[in-house]
Structure 1
Amino acid sequence: MRPLAGVIVALGLVALGILWIETQVDEKRPEVARLPIQPNTAVSALPDFAAIADVREKKRAFFGFLRPTVEQVNLKINGQRQFLLQLKQRLDQGLTISGPQAAKAERIAQQYGYELRQISSETLAPLLVRVDTIPVEMVLVQAANETGWGSSRFARDGLNFFGQWCFKAGCGLVPQGRDDGRNHEVAKFDTVEASVSSYLKNLNTNPAYQDLRAIRSELRGARMEVTAASLIPGLIRYSERKEAYVDELLNMLETNRRYM
């Protein structure tokens, strides 16, 4: 039988060993850079991502810069969604809703390009397909893809992280390689929040991304997690490259999870 003193010493050595192992693991675990940037960041305050020589540090900095704004915009969308879900639950139970509640629902519907002629459980269901969040990881990898990790001219000069177009003269930045006869520009935004909000609204309202919304709605109905990997295939019409674009985003998602 081992003496008590020997047991204590042995336990102490084991604890030190575990502590040393945890320290080594922590040192190898990458940390996501959290830059002190607010959602209303102006162009002048955009970090110079192109100047970051270390690729891993650049990725952490880019994701860390954009993530807080994506989370904030998603939080607003989720607030709208929860309000509509509560309204639908009341109507399912045969309860009435107030005038202010109805007015708020109509304002949300208008924001998402949905005509809400009357408010019922049946009319709220299609609206809820639109009023929903997008996985942060999907937003981040698409922004990285579209901007070359924040170094593109459109990101630097227009806070456009998603290659969004506009069609009114002077609304944005004219692409250098624009074909003759084309009149589109790459939209310019005043803040990072405006850029992210416009992108999420595009995914939630544009007919081109109806499949994405259908996938998300089916997952919600099955009480399954809505992940970046599950929704990225719904971006097949975001680029003329179609399947190749989707495959590239899925590959970026897998190879860059450690930096998010």
Structure 2
Amino acid sequence: MPCSRILASLLLLVSPFVLAGPSLQLSQSLPLPPEQVMQPYPEVSVSMLHSAKELIAAFDGNDYQLTTVEQSKTLPSYFVENLPSDLNALPVSQKTTGFIRLLLPTIKVVNERILLVRDELNRLSAKPKSQWSEAEKRWVQTLSDSYAIQSGEIAELLLHIDIIPAGMVLAQGIDESGWGTSHFAIAGNNLYGEHLPHDGGKFLTTPGGQVKVAAFNDLYQSTASYMHNLNTTRAYKELRLLRQQLRTQKKLTGYELVQSLLHYSSRGQAYVDNLRALIKRHHLDDFDQTRLNTSDSVRYRFSDDG
């Protein structure tokens, strides 16, 4: 069960990061799910930053504003790999809009990769299994293993392999990380309160070691792991069924889907109510229809002394 509030005094323990599920060795035409992408960022030079103020200045200098994104429905490919340690030093309006801006492109690219996998699954469903290539059969089997699906049926895979609306991802990231200011978020890129998975990996822990929380190399891995968790864990079966229903009705939004998160936090309905309030107040569902502009990609990384 993800934790919303844990002691801020923590110790970071390091062990090798483990991807969810085995690596796929397949034809380049068969897309990897986001949690298995080893190098998610574009191959461009990294701009090193030292403070949240520098990031805001970079966004403003490139006219990356939320109002512009809403009007143009276009999101720049500005990927922020980790968090600054001083977001709280910004004025409230800069902190809130800055956090949304730094996370949105990562959410979009993870969801777009999920859609690539869904498109390929839909393509395969249109032809008999007897006509699948060996690579396609292995790809479907590996996906089934990764998403804990025994049937191997495409209909079941499509229930599990689907996007999480940007408004819901943003709201949970805001709530769980305190707008990117918690120790878990800064030291371990853990924006969503994920506990250490059973197969191990990097983790954060309280000094007594009672609580182990997953840590990630970057915000992409954190976001991809969080979505994989929602798409596989038995506790979120209701979420997946509701998502399928909302997709059929063309009503799939963060505001609607968060009602299925009663088991995500010990706060239950109060947690859901807070997520909905965040989505409504900050218009977080307004970004689902944006498209990612990949013509001019930028990468930002905060140095350890930032």
Whether these two folds match at TM > 0.5 is yes
Contact 2:85 2:181 in 1 (8 A): no
Please identify which structure carries the higher helix content.
1
Of 217, 220, 228 in structure 2, the residue corresponding to residue 190 of structure 1 is: 217
* Aligned counterpart, 1:48: 86
* Deviation digits for residues 79-101 of structure 1 (CA, Å, limit 9, x no counterpart): 1111111111223xx87322222
| Greater RCO structure (CA 8 Å; 6+ sep) | 2
Contact 1:204 1:213 in 2 (8 A): yes
1:149 equivalent to 2:186? Answer: no
In the superposition, the TM-score normalised over structure 2's length comes to 0.64
Of 38, 43, 52 in structure 1, the residue corresponding to residue 79 of structure 2 is: 38
Task: Give the Cα–Cα distance (whole angstroms) in 2 for the partners of residues 59 and 35 of structure 1.
Answer: 18
1:90 equivalent to 2:127? Answer: yes
* Aligned counterpart, 2:204: 173
RMSD, aligned CA: 2.8
Larger Rg: 1
Of 97, 112, 134 in structure 2, the residue corresponding to residue 75 of structure 1 is: 112
Contact 2:204 2:214 in 1 (8 A): yes
Task: Give the Cα–Cα distance (whole angstroms) in 2 for the partners of residues 103 and 256 of structure 1.
Answer: 43
Alignment CA distance shift 1:35-1:60 (3 Å): farther
Contact 2:114 2:163 in 1 (8 A): yes
1:38 aligned counterpart, secondary structure: strand
Contact 2:204 2:213 in 1 (8 A): yes
* Deviation digits for residues 79-127 of structure 1 (CA, Å, limit 9, x no counterpart): 1111111111223xx873222221211122222122355xxxxx21111
In the superposition, the TM-score normalised over structure 1's length comes to 0.74
Contact 2:201 2:215 in 1 (8 A): no
1:229 aligned counterpart, secondary structure: helix
1:127 equivalent to 2:154? Answer: no
Residue identity over aligned pairs, in percent, reads 31
* Deviation digits for residues 214-242 of structure 1 (CA, Å, limit 9, x no counterpart): 0011223x342311111101111000111
Please identify which structure carries the higher strand content.
2
1:203 equivalent to 2:244? Answer: no
2:171 aligned counterpart, secondary structure: helix
Contact 1:32 1:64 in 2 (8 A): no
The runs of 5 or more residues in structure 1 that have no matched partner are 1-28, 118-122
* Aligned counterpart, 1:108: 143
The runs of 5 or more residues in structure 2 that have no matched partner are 1-65, 288-306
- How many residues in Structure 1 have an aligned counterpart in Structure 2? 216
Alignment CA distance shift 1:70-1:170 (3 Å): closer
Task: Give the Cα–Cα distance (whole angstroms) in 1 for the partners of residues 130 and 194 of structure 2.
Answer: 42
* Deviation digits for residues 155-184 of structure 1 (CA, Å, limit 9, x no counterpart): 1111000011116798411146x7xxx743
Contact 1:80 1:108 in 2 (8 A): no
* Aligned counterpart, 2:95: 58
Displacement of 1:48 after TM fit?
Answer: 2.9
Of 247, 257, 260 in structure 1, the residue corresponding to residue 283 of structure 2 is: 257
Equivalent runs, 1:219-238 vs 2, <5 Å:
219-220=246-247, 222-238=248-264
* Aligned counterpart, 1:21: none
* Deviation digits for residues 47-97 of structure 1 (CA, Å, limit 9, x no counterpart): 6311212x1221110010001111111111111111111111223xx8732
1:247 equivalent to 2:273? Answer: yes
1:143 aligned counterpart, secondary structure: helix
